[in-house]
A and B are shown apart, each in its own frame.
Chain A
Amino acid sequence: MQLTINGTPHDIEIEPDTPLLWVLRDEIGLTGTKYGCGIAQCGACTVHVDGEARRSCQVQIGDLEGAEVTTIEGFGSPDKLSLVQQAWVDHQVAQCGYCQSGQVMQATALLELNDSPTDEDIDRVMSGNLCRCGTYPRIRAAIHDAAAKIKGA
């Protein structure tokens, strides 16, 4: 199986029904993508497949021939934050932080399609991402802030 992950080509030989989530975590060692529920109920495993936000626990590796996958690690690092990640840090969003990879990936996908999301847009797109610590008010504020910066950029 040949696909690109964060710009790097990978040739992966594994059972084709293996979820992308577990290929990323156990085979490639990209652990920023989190296992939370395994049934697309929490959003912690959100990645971008060909530019679209997907739950990697529901994407079989066998369906990804030639695909371009971007994970949270592909968007930035503590020393080089993406614009969305910077908004997350500015608003001090994370508590335990375990859901935040998925939140950032989902928000990034939202902002790529819509640089002026309303609260209703945010509710619609972000409600599949569970945060047990309850950081939603700060996530909302960070998305609005990131949107303002995108428009100002």
Chain B
Amino acid sequence: MGRARTIARRTFLIGSAAVAGGVAFGVYKVKTPHDNPLAEGLGEGEATFNPFVKITPEAITLITPHADIGQGVVHMQAALISEELDVEFGQFETDFGAPDPAYWNTALSAEAVPFASFDDSFGARTMRGAVDGMAKLMGLMGTGGSSSVPDQYEKLRAAGAVARETLKLAASQQSGVAVGELKTANGAVQLPDGSSLTYTDLAEAASGLDPVTDVTLRDPSTWRLIGKPMARKDIPAKTTGAQIYGIDLKIDGMVHASTRVSPRRGAMNGYEANGADTMPGVSSILPITGGVAVVANSTWRAMNAVNQIEFDWADAPYPAEQDAHWAEVAASFTEERLDKEWRADGDVDAAMDGAEVISSEYSAGYVAHQPLEPLNAIVRADENGAEVWTGHQLPRFLQQKVAAIVGCEPDDVVYHNQYSGGSFGHRLEWDNITQAAEIAVQMRGTPVKLTLSREEDFATDYPRQIGMSRSKGTVKDGKVDSWSLDIATVSATRSMSGRLGVPVPGPDTQIAAGAWAMAYGIPNLRVRAYAVPELAPTSSWRSVGASTAGFFAESFLDELIHAAGADQIEERMRLCNNDVHRKVLEAVAEMSNWGSAMGANKGRGVALVESFGVPVAQVIEVTNTDAGIKIDRVYVAADVGRVIDPVNFENLVQGGVVWALGHAINSEITYSDGMAEQTNYHASEGMRMYQTPEIIVKGLENAEKIRGIGEPPVPAAPPALANAIFAATGQRIREMPFNKHIDFV
């Protein structure tokens, strides 16, 4: 192990790697790198080169630590390693790996700092550096904020290159052929005489070598995989029912549990078993925080028994009725609740003095996440530790949460991440895991599988922030001249971080995300964010703050441009002060043939919103039919700097648009008697096949930095739709969900 440990310490010094074009890996050049977790338990003749590649005489394993919640990130990570390692899909296995600080996320700073994504000033770089440094120090391993691609883009290619060059060195020593004459392909080192040595055959020899870290990453022109259409490795299994999700896992000796905790998110005063404890297959009713768990010998019997119990719940810690939530939001545009004035270009007040001022109020309610796989977790607590099986995006925090309940060290919690049936932000929360752990410690040694019923999942979802905006603006000489945009929402960031136990200092960058950094040079522009005190607890919902602020901003801008009598795209392009943003606008204008005649009862709307560093422009076409609004087509252009896989890119963009439009049309969580009124998909539907428009996607690569595409397609869709509805009907929709105001087909 001593040798392996030495190798491990050296392996992360891929800081010496040179990148094509001469950019060095400054961020990885660290004095005290984290140990390589793969070095632990390495067998005789087995080699690891860095935390991402392990080769034994039997198998090649690529570690893909980011959680796969449907975005295809396992395939993406494997492709990045393969590009340099020269292994083909089918020749290796992938593994999420154990939670480890070595997998700290190097790209979380993008939206965590109060600087625009395109701000490359000294202050912005310093703050990002500080956040990155903190993430490294904490070993902050996480999937979220569309950060997986930026986190892994260079790191994993370097990992593949280091492994490849080390294998070549081993082959050179074995064959006597100089390294420079060796080539690699198909998981093997190729010798000039046409023979080859497979990586698995070289594992033993390579295990005795110090990894070769002086590597050069390949020029993009030579790439086999990146940028070309890929076939995701997980799709055949997901098409045949063969993919095992957390909810499908079976651990020997496990029992089944279902829970009911307070739908008012508070305490349980008491309960009447009402015969639930003697129902067939039921073994016990156990107390957990805020409610009970029924343990049984099948999921169905456990869920049935839970429904039999009568509960007495304490009051909610937030207003019982929805109207009071809205009243609190409306009362938050005050000096005391000002979270930050993000933008103060020109002089808004002076510009409006004496001018005709246009003003509007917008609102967006709570919305549930509800991925299709109900939350679940398997936990087995032992005397000195625990084992956990579930899909989650923050593995090391998960270890801490479970350890606190089990009474052990976080490192004694063995965690097996699972493919997840969606997340959209839902798998950044903890209740299913802490509940399973609370049950498991009451029956140590027995694996407990907790499956939430859909109704329980709805009742205990932490929805998207509720919020409102108040805008005022003026136009002059056919142009937008001034705009004051005030946004008040609850802080999903603070609500989440409170449950995580990690306070986030400074202003919440999400309240006005997608609005404050808008790339518009409006002469007089002020953007202020107000923090509404915590109401119902909320959490990150795909694209987070921009999902509400983007709607507020781009809808009102549409009002101003309309008042100015200008063309909606031309005026946006005139105002746009960022080339990358302007080009996505130009792209959708061209794709949609903007300005061409549409016929009666039809309309087009446009919106441009940046999310997690990605500018996304959308043009939506609608028809006002007798049966309601029909969404005909959506044109989307997004710039991520570099598209890794155009097929998956298109799928994720289409899916993001469907997600955004479905919820904007028909979904909202409202509270009554302290409880969410929507209990299942019939009341919170999202989009279905018959409503789905044609969605035409274009990926642009003008941006300097590479970005992720999971969340960015969301925010521009609702305002583009509302603007299209206005164009087709003259009716301005200022509240989500839109079906409160207009019918849809």
* Chain A residues within CB distance 8 Å of chain B: 15, 18-19, 22, 25-27, 29-39, 41-42, 44, 71-73, 75-78, 81, 85, 88-89, 92-101, 104, 122-124, 126-140
8 A Cβ contacts from B646-698 to A: 647-648, 651-652, 654-659, 662, 680-682, 685-690, 692, 694-695
Contact of B680 among A22, A37, A129 (CB under 8 A): A37
| Identity of the chain B residue whose Cβ is nearest the Cβ of A124 in the assembled complex | B690
User: B689 touching A123 by the CB < 8 A rule?
Assistant: yes
User: B300 touching A19 by the CB < 8 A rule?
Assistant: yes
Q: Known contacts A94-B235, A98-B371; decide if A15 and B280 are in contact (CB<8 Å).
A: yes
B250 interface contact, C-beta 8 A? yes
Q: Known contacts A31-B241, A133-B422; decide if A127 and B689 are in contact (CB<8 Å).
A: yes
User: A97 touching B421 by the CB < 8 A rule?
Assistant: yes
Which chain B residues border A75 with CB–CB below 8 Å?
240
User: A130 touching B240 by the CB < 8 A rule?
Assistant: no
Report, nearest first, the 4 A-B pairs whose CB atoms are least far apart: A32-B241, A134-B658, A97-B238, A96-B70
Q: How far is the CA of A151 from the CA of B370 in the complex (A)?
A: 38
Q: Known contacts A81-B236, A132-B372, A137-B694; decide if A97 and B658 are in contact (CB<8 Å).
A: no
| Identity of the chain A residue whose Cβ is nearest the Cβ of B230 in the assembled complex | A92
- How many residues on chain B are close to A (CB under 8 Å)? 64
Which chain B residues border A133 with CB–CB below 8 Å?
70, 422, 655, 658-659
User: A41 touching B689 by the CB < 8 A rule?
Assistant: no
User: B692 touching A136 by the CB < 8 A rule?
Assistant: yes
User: A41 touching B680 by the CB < 8 A rule?
Assistant: yes
Q: How far is the CA of A39 from the CA of B695 in the complex (A)?
A: 30
Q: How far is the CA of A109 from the CA of B24 in the complex (A)?
A: 56
Q: Known contacts A96-B372, A122-B689, A127-B690; decide if A39 and B300 are in contact (CB<8 Å).
A: no
Contact of A89 among B69, B239, B241, B681 (CB under 8 A): B239
Which chain B residues border A101 with CB–CB below 8 Å?
240-241
User: A72 touching B72 by the CB < 8 A rule?
Assistant: no
Binary CB contact string for chain B from 679 to 721 against chain A (1 if under 8 A, 0 otherwise): 0111001111110101100000000000000000000000000
Contact of B654 among A71, A123, A138 (CB under 8 A): A138
B562 interface contact, C-beta 8 A? no
Contact of B242 among A44, A78, A96, A131 (CB under 8 A): A78
Give the interface SS of chain A, mostly helix, strand, loop or mixed.
loop
Contact of B239 among A34, A35, A85 (CB under 8 A): A85
Q: How far is the CA of A134 from the CA of B717 in the complex (A)?
A: 14
User: A78 touching B686 by the CB < 8 A rule?
Assistant: no
Cβ distance A2 to chain B, nearest Cβ, rounded Å: 20
* Chain B residues within CB distance 8 Å of chain A: 69-72, 231-232, 234-245, 247-248, 250, 256, 280, 298-300, 303, 370-374, 419-422, 424, 451, 453-455, 647-648, 651-652, 654-659, 662, 680-682, 685-690, 692, 694-695
User: A26 touching B256 by the CB < 8 A rule?
Assistant: yes
| Identity of the chain B residue whose Cβ is nearest the Cβ of A134 in the assembled complex | B658
User: B250 touching A29 by the CB < 8 A rule?
Assistant: yes
Which chain A residues border B453 with CB–CB below 8 Å?
38
| Identity of the chain A residue whose Cβ is nearest the Cβ of B457 in the assembled complex | A37
Which chain B residues border A42 with CB–CB below 8 Å?
372, 681
Cβ distance A18 to chain B, nearest Cβ, rounded Å: 6
Which chain A residues border B662 with CB–CB below 8 Å?
134
Which chain B residues border A122 with CB–CB below 8 Å?
689
Cβ distance B306 to chain A, nearest Cβ, rounded Å: 12
User: A137 touching B239 by the CB < 8 A rule?
Assistant: no
User: A129 touching B689 by the CB < 8 A rule?
Assistant: yes
Which chain A residues border B70 with CB–CB below 8 Å?
95-98, 133
Q: How far is the CA of A123 from the CA of B454 in the complex (A)?
A: 25
Which chain A residues border B241 with CB–CB below 8 Å?
30-33, 71-73, 101
Which chain B residues border A19 with CB–CB below 8 Å?
300
Q: How far is the CA of A40 from the CA of B105 in the complex (A)?
A: 40
User: A100 touching B238 by the CB < 8 A rule?
Assistant: yes
Contact of A134 among B234, B648, B654 (CB under 8 A): B654
Cβ distance B592 to chain A, nearest Cβ, rounded Å: 17
Please list 8 pairs of residues, one from A and one from B, whose beta carbons are closer than 8 Å in the complex, sorted by A's number: A33-B241, A36-B374, A81-B240, A85-B240, A95-B422, A96-B371, A128-B688, A140-B692
Additional 12 contacts, C-beta under 8 A, given A89-B236, A136-B688: A22-B298, A25-B248, A34-B372, A37-B454, A38-B303, A73-B240, A94-B238, A95-B655, A98-B373, A132-B424, A133-B70, A134-B654
Which chain A residues border B372 with CB–CB below 8 Å?
34, 36, 42, 44, 96, 98-99, 130-132
User: B688 touching A95 by the CB < 8 A rule?
Assistant: no
Cβ distance A19 to chain B, nearest Cβ, rounded Å: 7
User: B247 touching A97 by the CB < 8 A rule?
Assistant: no
Cβ distance A42 to chain B, nearest Cβ, rounded Å: 6
User: B235 touching A97 by the CB < 8 A rule?
Assistant: yes
| Identity of the chain A residue whose Cβ is nearest the Cβ of B279 in the assembled complex | A15
User: B231 touching A92 by the CB < 8 A rule?
Assistant: yes
Q: How far is the CA of A132 from the CA of B420 in the complex (A)?
A: 12
User: A35 touching B236 by the CB < 8 A rule?
Assistant: no
| Identity of the chain A residue whose Cβ is nearest the Cβ of B421 in the assembled complex | A98
User: B686 touching A130 by the CB < 8 A rule?
Assistant: yes
Cβ distance A77 to chain B, nearest Cβ, rounded Å: 5
Contact of B420 among A30, A37, A85, A96 (CB under 8 A): A96
Which chain A residues border B371 with CB–CB below 8 Å?
96, 98, 132
User: A92 touching B692 by the CB < 8 A rule?
Assistant: no
Which chain A residues border B685 with CB–CB below 8 Å?
130
Contact of B374 among A35, A71, A78 (CB under 8 A): A35
| Identity of the chain A residue whose Cβ is nearest the Cβ of B245 in the assembled complex | A98
User: A137 touching B240 by the CB < 8 A rule?
Assistant: no
Which chain B residues border A134 with CB–CB below 8 Å?
654-659, 662, 687, 692
Contact of B647 among A36, A92, A123, A131 (CB under 8 A): A92
User: B370 touching A132 by the CB < 8 A rule?
Assistant: yes
Cβ distance A95 to chain B, nearest Cβ, rounded Å: 4
User: B238 touching A137 by the CB < 8 A rule?
Assistant: no
Cβ distance B415 to chain A, nearest Cβ, rounded Å: 20
User: B422 touching A92 by the CB < 8 A rule?
Assistant: no
Cβ distance A78 to chain B, nearest Cβ, rounded Å: 4
Q: How far is the CA of A122 from the CA of B372 in the complex (A)?
A: 21
User: A31 touching B239 by the CB < 8 A rule?
Assistant: no
Which chain B residues border A36 with CB–CB below 8 Å?
372-374, 454, 681
Q: How far is the CA of A123 from the CA of B299 in the complex (A)?
A: 33
Q: How far is the CA of A92 from the CA of B654 in the complex (A)?
A: 13
Contact of A95 among B651, B682, B694 (CB under 8 A): B651
Cβ distance B539 to chain A, nearest Cβ, rounded Å: 16
User: A26 touching B647 by the CB < 8 A rule?
Assistant: no
Cβ distance A141 to chain B, nearest Cβ, rounded Å: 11
Which chain B residues border A100 with CB–CB below 8 Å?
238-239
Q: How far is the CA of A15 from the CA of B451 in the complex (A)?
A: 20
User: A97 touching B243 by the CB < 8 A rule?
Assistant: yes
User: A130 touching B681 by the CB < 8 A rule?
Assistant: yes
The listed residue with most B CB atoms (<10 A of its CB), out of A81, A94, A128, is: A94
User: A38 touching B454 by the CB < 8 A rule?
Assistant: yes
Q: How far is the CA of A39 from the CA of B245 in the complex (A)?
A: 21
Cβ distance B7 to chain A, nearest Cβ, rounded Å: 36
